[in-house]
Structure 1
């Protein structure tokens, strides 16, 4: 009986899927009495064969076209194009195993490094913008590796549309809109992160739609598989760019709604409800977090050599890198007369720094800042306070420790680290910190009391140790603490980090914690502070906060004009494109611009969806019962959620103050395409158009999409020769194709 039921359910599922996809039910088999109809029967069999196996031959054709559009003439331009200058260089750091810093998580850049490794590249090229690739660098292979991610988005769109219960004409339409979207094609053809971001965005939506398919069969192997695959995809998309968090939010909203509905089902046993919650915590929280953290674990594991990003990390982390100067031959214990650099232990903290420039207001004394780059202006001498005997070079060694009051003298200018009751230049609630006087001229406002927070090497706090001792510096006269809180000074302070004396006493404020990073004293033997390891979790949190801080600092500079930047309102209406390289007649030119029908159609569908939703809500309020439960479910999951996905990926760029470019819209565009697919699919169902009329309307859209892609193909595959020959593509003034 069970096997019969299973067989019946399988047949029912097959019929339902065919009906949803607009496929005819299998024809009943029976003898054909008339021999004259054999040719007709044969023709029908071919149609039936194509209809039955459409799920195989259609994706194959789409995949072939996808790889062609993404890879054809991909090596035509031999110069470093647009952000290849950034991400190619990051790939080089992985090959040389040099530690670097960037605002994006590491997975995508590690994949760029992998493409270089597979191409036989040794990491020696600097990837300067506009520079010609050397012969020994197989940049074509690296671009092909990247473009594969963009090509695989096409079959993912096809199968996602199937899972969203779209009919076959709509499935093909959604797939063609992704396949022949000019901007998707162009962005996939270079060494960038965007094709990877799009790929994992597509996999997340696909896995979510597959998981939703099994909502009525919970705890089955397929249900569990697609739940975990959704978690893996979320982890991957977040590990490429933080934009993936918007995908996470979409799945999170779906999960909250799903669990809320189950919580309201009083017939569901509490054990089953707890199991649902536990599976989702494991699949959608723990698995993504594990994937995300593992990408950073690999990042730290590979980048074992000192590199340009060292200063963003803690001193103890830097000391464990190969070839570092941090802590190298530094004496372990700090004495009076020692020359040292002081590192702020806050996330993304820099080195205590001063220079000859003065504050333009306030005390107008010498500026104190925090600076990430290493130079001699970061060096300070440890000196006794003015009440203790002066330091003498020939004296017996004296070691400052917990509770001792000291002076810090800037090595380059000879002035004392100083604070007074003058408001800080930016953080007005804190006191200003400056450099004042010299070894003889000054007062007690040059004094700082050491408060040891912890020491990784010893519980004896009577001495300050290089790298291992974390301490705070308290101003005895004012009762405030030296702090560097990642607030940037204006241009007069060279955009360096503001240093203040904060009035509140918060021992857990890591931005008031400092350590000695490098230390020089000829009277002391060299130590080995680098033998102490920095914990992975601490490094992971530290780097992520530093990334967040740097990302927030990417604001438009009012003193500079960025011709490539664009506004959020320009994207959905295709108001602007982006030049990806120089516009000289001698080089191959690329222009980042979308397919007009895809952009305008998808944007218009968002408005059409809300009009449709309002129509049904008004009719429902008036007592009409237009929709069946299955139709409400279709609107809910195939219409509402793509629209939510669009808003989640679009609205943050409206609010954020950072510099924005057209490619920031590309994840949101996919959700707009799905919305357009839903609106057209729903309309074809409700209007009950004749089959041939329906295919005629969709066929017209297919032709327009493909035709416009072909019309604008040069901006994707490369414009050779004079840009004036492309005047016919400049539909609007903002499309700077021929300027």
Structure 2
């Protein structure tokens, strides 16, 4: 009877431990997390910080108007979903600092966003469980994430940062779970977690391209795991290739399909003409409801006026203006410009010396020799052996002379490369040897140099108004689409407009590639302006030491004011932990090299998941911002801070988890107390500073913080 009672007691303890570790503790942290992030979330009734951007992007989905942004669409579609759930009609403009009208339920929108921030906490808890940390370390790391001021304040507004952090954490959590199941590979349970890893990779990359950084970590782990299988002599080659196949399927194909599917939905929802039309090609624009492109006559003549758009990765309209190149030929600039402008209009004319009857209509056909005259400046589209200004190995394209003054370098040859049929099946088939607006793709070959008019995808510096570079390029392939052009709008009083013509439908794959390239170009354009001082920008070196914070709204006493600053406890101790981590790793490597310690396979995998991968994740999420030329802000450190906190957890676990009780518990109690105390002290920066700033002087620890001054 005694043995049975002991077994019953043990089972009861195991059951209680399971419930506490898997239900009660994470539930407590989740409730606390929701409470902190939802607390007075509606207190500031103005458009705060980047709500001006992302709230507006969400409204475009409500209105179905096409827009362009530097980030993929998933996060903004989720914001659009929150606005739809809030009953928003899309008519509020989200102007920065403006007051939300009564009919806009911004509280629900913010609560929806806060949900992602709050769920980061249970995801962190289970991540540390699967990393096999000591329970006290698990509780410490979870507490740090729960009480992190920057995470709380970013969760309170209509932003992408909480979504990005959530999917970053869940991706790493799935990786940690996979590692815990590494001895059960190819089982249903392991395959499910591999699939979940791929789904989360697809989601995080579909919110922001920063998601590629955690994808690199998953890829690194996968390579190490596959190398382990390669070294396993007991594993057949067929089985080994199966490991490759399932990983390719779940970690590459599934994420790619999710990313593609997000854009498919994006294009389906935004079927009306909007602010982002100019970032796309002609076929996409002309098929939007309410398109700004005017339909013109179907055949082009010498004497026709037109606009011409590149079919390359920078789908801009051919443009010129009176300004001159500062170097090279010092002739008029020829650029690519995406937006509608009278300087985009050109005219087809005969080459000099060519005989023609002014009463006769001459069509622009394949092989025709033409001059392109800029309508406003009356200069000729010209190229010569002067090097291009941005790209290398190409020739400058300029505006030269006028109707009467010019030379043979003004002459170009039309080469038709593709013709698309009308979407109207009853429309008669057009002559494929003639240039037609919208549907004909052609190249312009320079008569003298033999090069082709090209949009390089690069941009001119400030002297060229950051517009796209246009050059003459030696192209050896007819399929080089950077040399493809099409007529967009066409005007000719001698011809009539055919009302029965319906433009061809654009191809999803083309639209997808062009919009992603446009996103990349927009990202590259986000560089600091040396002539302007950006008071809220910061450099990467400032983030790990909390050199500067960021005011998220107007700093007036009658509103709730929010200050984006990491918890001094979390940030400083995690930064210090990175230095300690490096010393620990050097110590382990030295001892292993000296053979004073033996690392088993389990030790290696434990060290990999607890220490090496979090450190690599911190590097991949931090270093790119330290070396890139684009403008950076405090919130860019948010994902990197998470991995710094995990590194802190490893350092504490390594140094103290196995220590004697009189050392272990005082250390952990001190760390818990410090984290909680600092949160309470600095809580106003994330829960709202109210009233006069003088009462917050105690928070002004560094002169560079502008919480009060």
Q: TM-score, normalised by structure 2?
A: 0.94
Give the alignment partner of residue 357 of structure 1, picking from 299, 314, 323.
323
DSSP-derived class of the 1:712 partner: helix
Offset from partner CA, 1:167-211 (integer Å, 9 cap, x none): 111111111010000011111111100000001001101111112
Match of 2:532 in 1: 560
* TM-fit CA distance, 1:341: 0.5
Give the alignment partner of residue 369 of structure 2, picking from 387, 390, 405.
405
Does the 8 Å contact 1:348/1:543 carry over to 2?
A: no
Does the 8 Å contact 1:410/1:416 carry over to 2?
A: yes
1:601 aligned onto 2:573: yes
Looking at structure 1, the residues matched to 243 and 595 of structure 2 have their Cα atoms a distance apart, in angstroms, of 36
Looking at structure 1, the residues matched to 48 and 24 of structure 2 have their Cα atoms a distance apart, in angstroms, of 36
Offset from partner CA, 1:61-119 (integer Å, 9 cap, x none): 10111001111011111111111111111111111111111110000000111111111
1:570-609 matches, within 5 Å, as 570-609=542-581
1:128-147 matches, within 5 Å, as 128-147=95-114
Report the more deviating stretch, 539-548 or 356-365: 356-365
Looking at structure 1, the residues matched to 501 and 655 of structure 2 have their Cα atoms a distance apart, in angstroms, of 70
1:437 aligned onto 2:374: no
Report the more deviating stretch, 492-501 or 168-177: 492-501
Looking at structure 2, the residues matched to 567 and 317 of structure 1 have their Cα atoms a distance apart, in angstroms, of 39
| 1:504–1:360 distance in 2 versus 1, CA, 3 Å | same
Report the more deviating stretch, 668-677 or 405-414: 405-414
Does the 8 Å contact 1:169/1:695 carry over to 2?
A: no
Match of 2:460 in 1: 489
1:97-496 matches, within 5 Å, as 97-326=64-293, 328-389=294-355, 392=358, 395-427=359-391, 429-457=393-421, 460-496=431-467
| 1:521–1:219 distance in 2 versus 1, CA, 3 Å | same
DSSP-derived class of the 2:376 partner: coil
Looking at structure 1, the residues matched to 308 and 414 of structure 2 have their Cα atoms a distance apart, in angstroms, of 13
Looking at structure 2, the residues matched to 344 and 73 of structure 1 have their Cα atoms a distance apart, in angstroms, of 50
Looking at structure 1, the residues matched to 663 and 272 of structure 2 have their Cα atoms a distance apart, in angstroms, of 65
1:30 aligned onto 2:1: no
* TM-fit CA distance, 1:529: 5.9
DSSP-derived class of the 1:133 partner: coil
Offset from partner CA, 1:35-79 (integer Å, 9 cap, x none): xxxxxx9xx999994785332111111011100111101111111
Task: Give the unaligned 5+ runs of structure 1.
Answer: 1-26, 33-40
Looking at structure 2, the residues matched to 296 and 592 of structure 1 have their Cα atoms a distance apart, in angstroms, of 31
Offset from partner CA, 1:364-383 (integer Å, 9 cap, x none): 33321111110111111122
* TM-fit CA distance, 1:272: 1.2
Does the 8 Å contact 1:574/1:596 carry over to 2?
A: yes
Does the 8 Å contact 2:58/2:83 carry over to 1?
A: yes
Give the alignment partner of residue 500 of structure 1, picking from 467, 471, 478.
471
| 1:259–1:414 distance in 2 versus 1, CA, 3 Å | same
Does the 8 Å contact 2:657/2:664 carry over to 1?
A: no
DSSP-derived class of the 1:126 partner: coil
| 1:53–1:427 distance in 2 versus 1, CA, 3 Å | closer
Match of 2:30 in 1: 63
Match of 1:17 in 2: none
* TM-fit CA distance, 1:625: 2.6
Q: How well do the aligned residues superpose, as a CA RMSD in angstroms? A: 2.2
Give the alignment partner of residue 526 of structure 1, picking from 492, 498, 507.
498
Give the alignment partner of residue 683 of structure 1, picking from 655, 659, 665.
655
Offset from partner CA, 1:2-59 (integer Å, 9 cap, x none): xxxxxxxxxxxxxxxxxxxxxxxxx976389xxxxxxxx9xx9999947853321111
Offset from partner CA, 1:396-450 (integer Å, 9 cap, x none): 3221111111111222232222223333344464333222333333332221111
Does the 8 Å contact 1:316/1:534 carry over to 2?
A: yes
Looking at structure 1, the residues matched to 465 and 380 of structure 2 have their Cα atoms a distance apart, in angstroms, of 21
Does the 8 Å contact 2:283/2:503 carry over to 1?
A: no
Match of 1:7 in 2: none
Does the 8 Å contact 1:468/1:529 carry over to 2?
A: no
Looking at structure 2, the residues matched to 597 and 491 of structure 1 have their Cα atoms a distance apart, in angstroms, of 43
DSSP-derived class of the 1:613 partner: helix
